[in-house]
Amino acid sequence: MVKESFIAPTPIEAYKLAVQKYKSIDNFKIINASQYKNAQNELVAKIEIEVDEESFNASIGVSEEELLIEELNSLKSKMNRMKSALAGNEEPEPAAAAQELKPTAKSKDVIEHIKELLTQKGLDKKWIDYMLDPFATTQIAEDETLLVSFILEELEEALTIERNPLKNRVHLFVGATGVGKTTTIAKIIAYSIHKGVSPKEIAVINLDNFRAAANEQLSYYTNKMGVDYYYAKSVESLREVFARLREKTLIYIDSAGSAPFDLEKLLSTAHFYQDSQSNIGSTQTNLVVSAGTKYSDLKKIYEHFSFLNVDCAIVTKLDETEDIGNVVAFLLET
């Protein structure tokens, strides 16, 4: 059932509006009636009715549906412009429609409530404002469920998710210490085998010369899955490994976890990366980040690894936090 209100100077006139819309009193049920003074200090009457969804949808008519579709398409266009603005490609145009129309009290309440929820989830205020402000003067803003659905759809479209991680032959995994690079590689190996790649067609190379435990952990995983494992201590040994892997279908390379300020590890990874590019061809660089990392730290991590031509991000530890707004904002703006 759908609830709807009719307001007029008198109760009889409000009642007539309901009858006029639904043709007969048999098509709706009056559930409340009241009188109050409006913003102009005039006494008005309001009746609230309950009507079945079929009758309500029929009352909307094709013209209103077309108007809603047109409004959605217009908002889609605004969203695209805002995404370009957030990426730095053009000047933002937030809430352009607000210059022509004023938002209703209900739309203000709905938008503020959604902004509060998104802020609690850690999303950046600038992005939230750009996404929601254009809705302020639309009828969509008066329906919280519809507005949230639209925003979630925009988020889904804005984030490009790689459905086929196996399309590249050589993968380099980089990231800060403790984000789960080694475990991620083990999971991707298992996924590769599940998709039909023979363990004999896969090789793993470990470049981490700073942590003995990483060598032992990766060696254990690969041994369990029957995958060839190599430990490269230097650029020269990496070249020797590459020479033995010409026939491999997939090559996964684990690097030393490093903080943005850890210059020694960054330079070590850079040397390995440059040599892999020249000896084995194009390498896909995957930046592994933890879902619970602060937004400012995510930006620093990306900036310090960007010289490796990062192709995509892998988000780990999603089960360890309920607030993924920081990483979503990072992915949207990077």
Domains within the chain, CATH numbers bracketed: 2-51 (no CATH), 63-158 (no CATH), 170-333 (3.40.50.300)
Query: Mean pLDDT, to the nearest integer, of 255-270?
Result: 54
Q: What is the pTM of this model?
A: 0.62
Helix (H, G, I), strand (E, B) or coil at 202: strand
Amino acid occupying residue 88: G
pLDDT (0 to 100) of residue 189? 92
Range of weakest confidence among 54-63, 224-233, 255-264? 255-264
Q: Percentages helix, strand, coil for the chain, rounded to the nearest 5?
A: 55, 20, 30
Query: Mean pLDDT, to the nearest integer, of 169-195?
Result: 89
Return mean pLDDT, the chain.
Answer: 77
Other beta carbons within 10 Å of 92: 16
Query: What is the Rg, in whole angstroms, of the alpha carbon atoms belonging to the chain?
Result: 29
Contact between 30 and 49 (Cβ < 8 Å):
yes
pLDDT tens, 140-164?
788 888 788 777 777 777 777 777 6
pLDDT (0 to 100) of residue 98? 42
Pairing mode, strands 2-8 and 29-37:
unpaired
Residue 67 reports pLDDT greater than 70: no
Share of the chain above pLDDT 90, in %: 12
Which is more confidently placed, 123 or 4?
4
pLDDT (0 to 100) of residue 51? 84
CA–CA dist 78, 193 (Å, integer): 43
Contact between 141 and 111 (Cβ < 8 Å):
yes
Query: Mean pLDDT, to the nearest integer, of 38-42?
Result: 80
Residues 6+ apart with CB under 8 A from 120: 323
The DSSP element (H or E) to which 77 belongs, if any, is helix 53-86
Residue 194 reports pLDDT greater than 70: yes
Reported in sequence order, the residue ranges of 255-306 that DSSP labels E, i.e. its strands, are 284-290
Residue 65 reports pLDDT greater than 60: no
pLDDT (0 to 100) of residue 307? 77
Residue 24 reports pLDDT greater than 70: yes
CA–CA dist 186, 183 (Å, integer): 5
Residue 13's closest CA among 29, 28, 33, 31?
A: 33
Residue 238's closest CA among 197, 208, 200?
A: 208
pLDDT (0 to 100) of residue 96? 44
Residues 6+ apart with CB under 8 A from 260: 176, 300, 301, 303, 304
pLDDT tens, 99-122?
445 777 888 888 898 888 888 877
Is the torsion defined by CA of 82, 86, 87, 89 positive or negative? positive
Residues 6+ apart with CB under 8 A from 85: 91, 92, 93, 130
**Torsion on CA atoms 222, 282, 164, 159, rounded to nearest 10:** 120
**Token reading at 16:** 């007539």
Give the HSE-up count for residue 304: Cα atoms under 13 Å, Cβ half-sphere: 21
CA–CA dist 32, 48 (Å, integer): 5
